[in-house]
Chains A and B, each alone.
Chain A
């Protein structure tokens, strides 16, 4: 057994112990300009971890690969929900391959024009066991118009699963790993509550739960839904699949609403 330790991280701003600054466009919900995270990645990566630090507004971040002016998006619309009173970190684990020497860049949009995010990208070359690396991430359920996801309403009946909210009618690619983003619909005054959320596949009325009873919570002090991300879940979803989500909640006020988005990797 070897130490197998060729991991590296890109985007550090050592002078402030933070990541690379991504500033959203001054117009709300419009992507800002690309900012370089690293000119050349130092290792071949089998998977990446995108670490997003932010606070105000719902934010949505693209990570891209390629020369300046020719960026190709590899991780689209990563949802980073409003954390005005929590100021945590949104961490996406994405099993996608990036060759050594690649230029990485990021850009941001937000419900708050000009909002800032700080981004780090961990480059892991260990691999997920013997799992083959994958190369494409497709987002489902993201809503660029409000820098959020698809709204899920647990309904007015306490602690009872409500109807399904469709995230995508037909997936465009097969999915081998599924990553979930959770948002709080830019709500900065949440009520303390807990949720159990299901993700299902199948036609309307015939949804089959593939990830059941994901525990989520919010609190009046932090005003944020948590956790902000889940996965990757190893999964096999064929192209053309409908994906939906539903939930139950311990409250019935409007604060019961939350956003969800999915990132399919293949």
Chain B
């Protein structure tokens, strides 16, 4: 169990997940569930000795509402055997907890290089969320682009996408199609197109929480943006958050 700071949107203390990883890993699956409070969460996975943790995976966006959601975030990042792994979280709900576990994969796809750096784009620490995407008031029509980052700081070979609930606790039924693109404003080129999302009144959550990771080749200095269309026009419930994670 990992507990957020009692202060909303503030990272809590590190909690050790494992003192020494038993194998060399070429990829990790971060498995998150929350038996606790509804909220938006940002989760850091760190590596290193206690009090000297270095962030390996920053600000993984996770949400839960009326129902617990167990989400798996897979990132092809190498971790040496013997490493100490820890996690810390922040939430819109102060003191909220998540159950966190990590699967270490040593298999690797043949010929695939190992990667070592994860960079988050579009995460918003102030509300434990991501960049808001507004499909607009016109039904089922792609709206303007929302910028996640003006210029990526590193090249990305893999891209994972996390979806957030914009702090919304009461959702309408809705369906979305959204695109992720690269390129300057006005010249966005979709690289991942028409991924489906939906919300339902019972769990009050936009799902799925995660897409990818997708193999990509995005150079450093790239602008990344997202846009969407939706089958409802309610000014609150049509909104969702997005954050992306580039792996180099």
A120 to B148, CA, bound (A): 25
Count the A residues whose beta carbon is within 8 Å of the partner chain — how many?
61
Which residues in chain B, 197-219, are within 8 Å of chain A measured between CB atoms? Answer: 197-198, 200, 202-203, 207-208, 211, 214-219
Distance from A5 Cβ to chain B, minimum over Cβ atoms (Å)? 4
Q: Quick one: which of A87, A126, A215, A220 contacts B70, CB cutoff 8 A?
A: A215
Q: A15-B140, A17-B230 are in contact. Are A1 and B193 (CB under 8 A)?
A: no
A233 to B26, CA, bound (A): 12
Per-residue CB contact flags for chain B residues 145-181 toward chain A (1 = under 8 Å, else 0) read: 0000000000101000000000000000101110000
Q: Cβ of B110 < 8 Å from any Cβ of A?
A: yes
Per-residue CB contact flags for chain A residues 9-42 toward chain B (1 = under 8 Å, else 0) read: 1001011111100000000000000000000000
Residues of B within 8 A of A9 (CB): 193-195
Per-residue CB contact flags for chain B residues 63-100 toward chain A (1 = under 8 Å, else 0) read: 00011111110001000000000000000000000010
Q: Cβ of B192 < 8 Å from any Cβ of A?
A: yes
Q: Cβ of A213 < 8 Å from any Cβ of B?
A: yes
The answer to whether A89 touches B112, judged by C-beta atoms less than 8 angstroms apart, is no
Q: Quick one: which of B71, B101, B105 contacts A234, CB cutoff 8 A?
A: B105
Residues of B within 8 A of A158 (CB): none
Q: Quick one: which of A51, A176, A215 contacts B196, CB cutoff 8 A?
A: A51
Distance from A6 Cβ to chain B, minimum over Cβ atoms (Å)? 9
Residues of B within 8 A of A223 (CB): 67
A8 to B112, CA, bound (A): 23
Q: A85-B202, A130-B111, A235-B107 are in contact. Are A227 and B177 (CB under 8 A)?
A: no
A8 to B189, CA, bound (A): 12
The answer to whether B110 touches A124, judged by C-beta atoms less than 8 angstroms apart, is no
Which residues in chain A, 119-167, are within 8 Å of chain B measured between CB atoms? Answer: 120, 122, 124, 126-132
Residues of A within 8 A of B190 (CB): 5, 7
Residues of A within 8 A of B215 (CB): 124, 126-129
Q: Quick one: which of A19, A88, A128, A212 contacts B112, CB cutoff 8 A?
A: A128
A227 to B208, CA, bound (A): 10
Residues of A within 8 A of B33 (CB): 194, 215, 217
Count the B residues whose beta carbon is within 8 Å of the partner chain — how many?
57
The answer to whether B216 touches A4, judged by C-beta atoms less than 8 angstroms apart, is yes
Q: Cβ of A74 < 8 Å from any Cβ of B?
A: no
Residues of A within 8 A of B243 (CB): none
Interface residues of B, dominant DSSP: strand
The answer to whether A8 touches B193, judged by C-beta atoms less than 8 angstroms apart, is yes
The answer to whether B191 touches A227, judged by C-beta atoms less than 8 angstroms apart, is no
Closest to A218 in B: B68
Residues of B within 8 A of A86 (CB): 67, 200, 202-203, 207
A12 to B179, CA, bound (A): 13
Which residues in chain B, 95-128, are within 8 Å of chain A measured between CB atoms? Answer: 99, 101, 103, 105, 107-113
Q: A91-B211, A126-B217 are in contact. Are A3 and B99 (CB under 8 A)?
A: no
Q: Cβ of A79 < 8 Å from any Cβ of B?
A: no
The answer to whether A17 touches B177, judged by C-beta atoms less than 8 angstroms apart, is yes
The answer to whether B195 touches A16, judged by C-beta atoms less than 8 angstroms apart, is no
The answer to whether A129 touches B71, judged by C-beta atoms less than 8 angstroms apart, is no
Q: Quick one: which of B112, B193, B208 contacts A7, CB cutoff 8 A?
A: B193
Q: Quick one: which of A7, A8, A214, A222 contacts B31, CB cutoff 8 A?
A: A214
Distance from A65 Cβ to chain B, minimum over Cβ atoms (Å)? 20
A5 to B218, CA, bound (A): 9
Residues of A within 8 A of B175 (CB): 16-18, 53
A89 to B175, CA, bound (A): 11
The answer to whether B107 touches A233, judged by C-beta atoms less than 8 angstroms apart, is yes
Determine which residue in A19, A176, A233 has the highest number of CB atoms from chain B within 10 A of its CB, and name it: A233
A152 to B220, CA, bound (A): 46
The answer to whether A129 touches B191, judged by C-beta atoms less than 8 angstroms apart, is no
The answer to whether B189 touches A5, judged by C-beta atoms less than 8 angstroms apart, is yes
A12 to B103, CA, bound (A): 34
Q: A85-B203, A215-B31, A233-B105 are in contact. Are A1 and B219 (CB under 8 A)?
A: yes
Q: Which 8 A-B pairs have the closest CB atoms?
A: A222-B67, A129-B112, A87-B200, A130-B111, A131-B109, A217-B70, A221-B67, A215-B31
Would you mind naming 11 contact pairs between A and B with Cβ atoms under 8 Å apart?
Answer: A3-B222, A14-B140, A17-B230, A53-B175, A53-B198, A87-B173, A88-B198, A129-B111, A192-B68, A217-B33, A219-B67
Known: A120-B196, A221-B66. 6 other contacts (CB 8 A): A3-B219, A18-B196, A86-B202, A87-B207, A88-B208, A132-B110
